[in-house]
A and B are shown apart, each in its own frame.
Chain A
Amino acid sequence: MKVRLLFNLILTLLILNVLVASTEIPKLHQRVTDFTNTLTYQEWKMLEKILKEFEDSTSVQIAVLIIRSLERESIEEFAYKVFSENKIGQAGKNNGVLLVIARDDRKMKIEVGYGLEGVLTDAIASRIIRNEIIPHFREDNYFAGLVNGIDAIMRATAGEYRADNGNGTTTIFPYFLFFLILLSVIGIPIMAGRRRRIIGGGQSVYYSGWSFGGWHGYLGGGFRSSGWSGGGGFSGGGGATGSW
């Protein structure tokens, strides 16, 4: 019992530490960084996988950052700083995209690197936010919003996104659904075992646990060693914002 109390205390301190850190400009070590524990482990892992595969095949870097709340800055300022601090996108190509979500402020921004401004224009970025992401965010389904939004961004960077017909999302979604099922079949038993063994506590504690674990790379998985970082890209402040 004592051990458990101590463990919870340490855990709380670590979480607090992460919260404090999130008010500064975070250094991204993963493609998907969630300070809010909004995503489950499976969801996070899936997004990482999708983005990794996309980066491997196209060299376009897409990163996601979810924070609780902005301090004094506007979302535009914050997104620009995070983008330039982490240099998302390949050097020379500047083909990076950053999604910043300030969950409790209900604001988001898609920050687009110089090299993608031609295909992922402000208008397209705005349409993606309006039509693909926000409808899901309004229903508190952040994962679905992100999957749809990332999918649309990936198609836009390939010059394929047509926001006006809006049917692209339905054709691609089963693919993600398939992954979700696959991951839950394989992932949940493993994670459940891990949870019992390590914490043996409630769901929320567990989720907090993986979040800082994911961030600092304590918790295993194939992503810890990936050591992802931006490739040296620049942004000129292009993209779009939205709120819900």
Chain B
Amino acid sequence: MASGARLILILGGLLLIFVFFSIVWGISIYNEIVGLDEGVRAAWSQVENQYQRRYDLIPNLVETVKGYAKQEREVLIGVTEARASVGQLKVTQDILRDPKAFAQFQQAQDGLGAALSRLLVIVEKYPELKSNENFRDLQAQLEGTENRIAVARMQYNEKVQLYNTRIRRFPASIIASITGFNEVQYFKAAQGSEQAPRIQF
């Protein structure tokens, strides 16, 4: 009788210790995942910033090109429309975990990148525009921004890789699924957008 009670006590104690260490372990894993998730969020806001920067540059660029190359209506409208479709996107942190919304975001942004590189190609036909200092500044800003976008996307993908690997690997995956951390979307390399439009001058 006494020995049975003692056994239960020992088992109960062991169980308590096990539960205690599981909780401690769970908390540390949780904190680690939170840290990685923060990294993803920070990298994502860089991506958004750079895309916003490009978005803000376009009206000025279009106006300047219009002044010299009015007849290029199609290309100019193409840029304006692509910009409008980017403007319609509803971008929140939620899209990071929504494959469809994320693909949509990337498609719209890549479309704008492609429209812009078409614009910079037609500019070649207008020497006066090409030698305009204001235009050259805008072009430099656009090129710089495209490059920043490429860098921000790369850094974002790196952070996502760290995060995704962590939450998918057993046994951390248990904690991740209990606390609702799920996979985040990557940027896929797309034609036209990875390559900053490069113009010789």
- A residues sitting closer than 8 Å to B (CB atoms) are 74, 76, 80, 121-123, 125-127, 130, 164, 235-243
Residue from A130, A164, A239, A243 within 8 A of B144 (CB atoms): A239
CA distance A192 to B196 in the complex (A): 47
Select from chain B the residue with minimum beta-carbon distance to A241. Answer: B143
Interface residues on B, range: 20 to 34
B141 to chain A: closest residue by CB: A122
Using A80-B151, A236-B46 as known contacts, say yes or no to A164 and B140 having CB atoms under 8 A apart. Answer: no
Is B74 part of the contact surface with A, judged by Cβ < 8 Å? Answer: no
Q: How far is the CA of A243 from the CA of B143 in the complex (A)?
A: 14
**Chief secondary structure at chain A's binding surface:** mixed
A193 to B132, CA, bound (A): 52
Given known contacts A123-B137, A126-B136, A242-B201, is B148 in contact with A237 (CB within 8 Å)?
Answer: yes
- Does B147 lie at the interface of the complex (its beta carbon under 8 Å from any beta carbon of A)? yes
Contact with A along B171-201 (1 / 0, CB 8 A): 0000000000000000000000001101011
Contact B151 A240 (CB under 8 A): no
The answer to the question of B75 belonging to the interface, with a C-beta cut-off of 8 Å to chain A, is no
A-B contact count (CB 8 A): 58
Contact between chains at A130 and B136 (CB < 8 Å): yes
Residues of B within 8 A of A237 (CB): 144, 147-148, 150-152
Q: How far is the CA of A241 from the CA of B151 in the complex (A)?
A: 15
Q: A76-B196, A130-B201 are in contact. Are A123 and B148 (CB under 8 A)?
A: no
Q: How far is the CA of A98 from the CA of B82 in the complex (A)?
A: 34
B 140-164 binary contact with A (CB < 8 Å = 1; else 0): 1101110110111000000000000
Residues of B within 8 A of A127 (CB): 133, 136-137, 140
Q: Is the CB of B143 within 8 A of A240?
A: yes
Nearest B residue to A237 via CB reads: B151
Kindly state the separation between the CA atoms of A157 and B152 in the bound complex, as whole angstroms. Answer: 24
Shortest distance between the CB of B114 and any CB in chain A (Å): 18
Instruction: Kindly list chain A residues whose C-beta atoms are within 8 Å of the C-beta of B152.
Output: 236-237
